[in-house]
Amino acid sequence: LEESPLDGIKVVVNDQDFSQVCADIDGPVGTPYENGLFRKKLALSQDCPHSPPKGYFMTKIFHPNVASNGEICVNTLKKDWNPSLGLRHVLSVVRCLLIEPFPESALNEQAGKMLLENYEEYARHARLYTGIHAKPKPKFKTGAISESTTALNVGQPNNETPGAIPSSVADIIRVITATEQIANVPVAAAAGSASVATTTQKREAGLAKVQADKKKVDARKKSLKRL
């Protein structure tokens, strides 16, 4: 199976337990299971191949021939079993079951009845299960972000000393400081103008007082001369 894999099927071998064989099955195109990824398990008995393996879907699926516990009902794994049949044939049969279910031998009676009476409703339920339970996990590229950052810094000299604030952070701090200084200029200028105005007012008041006192003194001198 590893040398000549089946179309839409990837076998996952457990080196610690050869009595169980798992496989990831792609949902066939044109079916309600399209774009889904379904994990299937085959449990091999001790007298295998004389007895058929038991098949289970590990991924939750809405299908007439799959029970609520994941058990698969297909004649190949029951009355039609033949010791000459290999795992390759079994996996192919199970994938074909996704293309053409057999509602007459349904383990999921609701799905079987719905398939016979209202295919559109059955397909809607199957697509809903597929979208919720069989959605393939996204593949993230490890280091993609760090590689992008490195690419942006190619050719940029690194003059920063260990423990120093990164240049980008320092630039931001300088901008903020400059902004604060500009914002404070009008306040300082206004404060300085107010101080100058107060000093001038005090000087003018002093001169007015001196002139008033001088007038008083001149008036007294005149009154003394008359005496």
pLDDT tens digits, residue range 176-209?
Answer: 555 555 445 444 444 455 454 556 666 666 666 6
22 as an active site residue: the answer is no
Given 22, 48, 73, 96, the catalytic residue: 73
pLDDT attached to residue 136: 87
Non-local (6+) Cβ contacts of 134 within 8 A are 27, 33, 36, 37, 38, 59, 60, 61
Non-local (6+) Cβ contacts of 26 within 8 A are 8, 9, 36, 37, 38
Instruction: Enter the tokens of residue 62.
Output: 């809405």
Domain ranges of the chain: 9-133, 166-227
pLDDT for 154 beyond 80: no
d(CA 80, CA 87): 14
pLDDT attached to residue 190: 45
pLDDT attached to residue 224: 46
pLDDT attached to residue 137: 76
Q: Which fold has domain 9-133?
A: Ubiquitin Conjugating Enzyme (3.10.110)
